[in-house]
Amino acid sequence: MYKLLDLFCGAGGLSFGFEESKEFHITLASDIMPDAISTYQSNYPNTNTLCCDICELSKSILKKYDSDSVDLILGGPPCQSFSTSGKRLLDDPRGKLFQEYLRLIKLIKPKVFIFENVIGLLSMDKGKIFNTIISSFKDEGYNVTYRVLNAVDFGIPQNRKRVIIVGHTSEDFNFPRRTHLNNHLSLLDAIGDLPHLNNHSYNKYICEPQNYFQRYARIGSNELKYHDIPNHGESLLKVIMAIPEGGSASDLPDEIKPKSGFKNSYSRLWWNKPSSTITRNFGAPSSARCIHPVADRALTTREGARIQSFPDRYIFCGSRTSKNLQIGNAVPPILSKRLVKSVINCLRNRK
């Protein structure tokens, strides 16, 4: 069995497929957010967790948790941790989290690591930051393979592009084959069995599962959790009610049109298209497109979790805002499942 360390573990989306495969033993998961650690503990009760800053992970602490020598490291520093200082990334205090991540790569020397981040990383400071990151990994003796993956191409009902960097000591790393190129799942496929909930909460499904995704989501769950409506004020409700399916604030009459917001703020989703990218603020209509296609409200916590491909049995801890943040920041669990075989093949073919 391979040993795995999950850094910046969050709610555990990236751990999901590796733990489920039974091929990996997660020795330790760490994060600085207490609610995220509580969520992780609730779903991976047999895994050691640490709520701490990454700079506190010393060799002695890692050894205590049998994590000073592992086969695989998961996780990438949050995108906010990267400065716009180009080649000074390794010296700039604003690049601290990446510096600490690199320190642990040097210290542990895993056979493989997976570094996940937003695609904006590719263009920061005209690509200088990304090039510095790749060069830093290569300087430690790793072959580096990277690719932009869109979650929707792997059976996740959401357009969500992320850059995945894989450091490895094998000849090559083969990313998983896209499984849903011409048959993307829609929002209706993902949440069509959940109550619409215009003005109340409800903990029962409205029908039997209508497709394989809903069957997957409901394994081990007989009752809905976290499916209660966000609290929208009267003036906000007027705005929401005037927005058609797939529409936005540009469709509103001037007298109720919000005075601020981005292009995708106050926008409804479509039933028959994949969801837009789920963000950490998907419960707020003023955030990126996150209003239910027909109900006059933003998405519930459960709907956001479904769109991210978390099964309904998954437990989230903290306030509604904290739960939504954990879900919006997560790697979709199904994408994690798709990556497992590629990593195993890479470990077996290592030099």
DSSP-assigned states of every residue in 12-25: STTTHHHHHHTSEE
> Is 79 in the active site?
yes
Structural domain includes residue 76: yes
Q: Which residues pair with 3 in a beta bridge?
A: 25
CB-based contacts of 79, cutoff 8 Å, min separation 6: 117, 118, 120, 121
Contact 275, 190 (CB under 8 A): yes
Closest to 126 in 3D by CA, of 80, 73, 162, 85: 85
List of the chain residues with pLDDT < 50: 84-86
Phi, psi (degrees; rounded to nearest 5) at 5? -120, 130
Question: Which structural domain range is residue 46 located in?
Answer: 2-178+332-348
Structural domain includes residue 196: no
Question: According to the model, what pLDDT value does residue 198 have?
Answer: 67
Question: According to the model, what pLDDT value does residue 271 have?
Answer: 97
* Catalytic position from the list 52, 79, 207, 290: 79
Report which secondary-structure segment, H or E, holds 106: helix 96-108
d(CA 47, CA 35): 16
Structural domain includes residue 65: yes
Query: What pTM was computed for the model?
Result: 0.94
Question: According to the model, what pLDDT value does residue 85 have?
Answer: 46
Question: According to the model, what pLDDT value does residue 197 have?
Answer: 75
Kindly give the pairing relationship between strand 161-168 and strand 112-118. antiparallel
pLDDT in tens, 24-34: 999 999 999 99
Structural domain includes residue 262: no
Closest to 332 in 3D by CA, of 162, 207, 201, 131: 162
Overall domain count for the chain: 1
Question: According to the model, what pLDDT value does residue 17 have?
Answer: 97
Structural domain includes residue 336: yes
pLDDT in tens, 38-81: 999 999 999 999 999 999 999 999 999 999 999 999 998 887 65
Label residues 103-138 b or e (16+ Cβ within 10 Å = b). ebbeebbbbbbbbbbbeebeebbeebbbebbbebbe
CATH of the domain at 26: 3.40.50.150
Question: According to the model, what pLDDT value does residue 82 have?
Answer: 64
pLDDT in tens, 127-141: 888 999 999 999 999
DSSP helix/strand/coil, 28: strand
